[in-house]
């Protein structure tokens, strides 16, 4: 019984540590929200992630097929123009519609 209790305590500590590290890492990221049409299934989600995973500067990619959005978390201070983001989707079968929101530090004129 003590082994089982010890296991669950250790598991809880690992979970708390992982959760804390993930939240602290998010604060060091910039966030883009993109409108992308044609993401209709889990294979599409995988396809979008494949397109973006090799792009320097992206830390995390979240795809929401129901909202037709792609959320990109980038390294702090890494900025992408609308044209750069559009080129990522060229020839992919997905229809890039544009940026819904971008980091304030990356907006034009700043």
pTM for the full predicted model:
0.69
Structure confidence at residue 52 (pLDDT) = 87
Rounded average pLDDT per 10-residue block, the chain, 110 residues: 56 53 59 94 91 82 94 89 91 93 77
Any idea what DSSP says for residue 46?
Answer: H
Nearest to 58 by CA among 94, 85, 21: 85
Check if the beta carbon of residue 61 is closer than 8 Å to that of residue 53: yes
User: Quick one: pLDDT at residue 110?
Assistant: 45
- Domains of the chain from N-terminus onward: 28-106 (3.30.70.100)
pLDDT at 13: 53
For 59-75, the pLDDT digits (tens) are 889 999 999 999 999 88
Look at residue 39 in the predicted model and tell me its pLDDT: 92
Question: Beta-carbon neighbour count of residue 63 at 10 Å?
Answer: 21
């Amino acid at each position: 019984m003590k082994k089982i209790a010890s296991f669950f305590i250790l598991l809880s500590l690992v979970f708390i540590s992982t959760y804390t590290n993930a939240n602290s890492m998010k604060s060091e990221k910039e966030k883009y929200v993109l409108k992308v049409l044609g993401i209709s299934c889990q294979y599409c989600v995988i396809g979008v992630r494949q397109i973006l995973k090799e792009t320097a500067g992206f830390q995390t990619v979240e795809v929401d097929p129901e909202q037709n959005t792609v959320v990109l978390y980038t390294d702090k201070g890494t900025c992408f123009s609308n044209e750069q983001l559009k080129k990522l989707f060229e020839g992919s079968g997905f229809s890039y519609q544009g940026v819904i929101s971008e980091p304030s530090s990356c907006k034009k004129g700043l």
